[in-house]
Copies of this chain bind each other. A is one copy, B any other.
Amino acid sequence: MQSEKEFLKGYKLSDYERPSVTADVAAFMISPQDKENYRRNPENKLLLLLVKRGGHPFKDCWALPGGFLQKGETIEQCALREIKEETNVLPASLMPVGVFSEPDRDPRGWIISNAYVSIISEESVRQVGMDDASDAQWFSVSFDRSGNGSYRLSLEYEDVRLCAVLAEEKTSFGKTAFRISDSGGLAFDHAAIIAQALTALRNEAKNFDTIFDFLPERFTLTALQKVQETIMNVSVLPANFRRMVSSYVEETDDYVRGEGHRPARLYTRKTIKEGST
């Protein structure tokens, strides 16, 4: 009879072929656009970080930032590390989106991707600055259904415009996945990963545990509302938004002045959640 120690001493994992494992991250940011008018509030845009591939395969195509899982780290640590390498910013949050393991999804061989959504605050990006000549750039995102279970994903950065088309696929538990009809020039199956990530982000933006991460510590309620509206592509009346968010925020005594209209009170996120008996 063999003991567990003896067994492990003689154990070899290498009999089977193993896949390479990567983490790919859809890092989102919300950025205010230029004001149309001195007293008007700025519009927001949802931005997604893409990286221009320097080598084969898909050379010169844009792709999600990501990289191979290294020994000694978890897949979440890998995802955070990759984002840090590209942006110099540590994301506020990370959420798994799915595992993409179609055997032929990568022409280099057997590589499975763990996809994540990550939220980065505009403030933190502005602090470290952004290299305009870098291979990593923030693309503005639009993602809408174009009828008949078909979706159109558009990504734009300066004069680069990527436009992918995806088909909706129902899976169990009422969830949906996406099949690529036209990759729009995105590398690998990243168009499908982005679609999945956006769907997950929109679902999460409904509840108030997610949207704070786009903003700095202190924010106005209107700014918070615009974040939610930008992500979900729906609008709420300000009065109703304020009522809904009221239990998640705390007043400060400070205001934002000098905007050409009534100053807005700054709020912070309420740390202690109600409902615990």
Contacts and interface: CB of A to CB of B under 8 A. Distances in A.
Interface of A: 2, 4, 7-8, 11, 13, 16-21, 55-59, 68-76, 92-96, 98-99, 101-103, 107-112, 114, 119, 171-175, 204, 207, 209-210, 213
Contact of A20 (B13, B68, B119, B173): B13
A76 B171 CA distance: 11
7 contacts: A16-B20, A19-B71, A71-B103, A71-B110, A74-B102, A92-B172, A93-B173
Given A21-B21, A114-B99, A174 B207 contact: yes
Contacts of A71: 17, 19, 103, 110
A20 B72 CA distance: 13
Nearest to A68: B16
B56 A204 contact: no
A94 B98 CA distance: 13
Residue from the set A11, A93, A173 with the largest chain B CB neighbour count within 10 Å: A173
The 8 closest A-B pairs by CB, nearest first: A174-B209, A93-B172, A7-B56, A18-B18, A75-B101, A95-B173, A74-B101, A13-B109
A91 B277 CA distance: 38
A95 B99 CA distance: 11
Given A8-B56, A103-B71, A13 B110 contact: yes
A57 B4 contact: yes
Nearest to A77: B101
A207 B172 CA distance: 13
A59 B11 CA distance: 14
Contacts of A92: 172
A138 to B, nearest CB: 21
A209 B173 contact: yes
B112 A21 contact: yes
Contacts of A207: 174
B72 A107 contact: no
A244 to B, nearest CB: 15
Contacts of A174: 204, 207, 209-210
A112 B75 contact: yes
Contact of A172 (B2, B95, B108): B95
Contacts of A99: 75, 96, 99, 114
A103 B175 contact: no
A138 B71 CA distance: 35
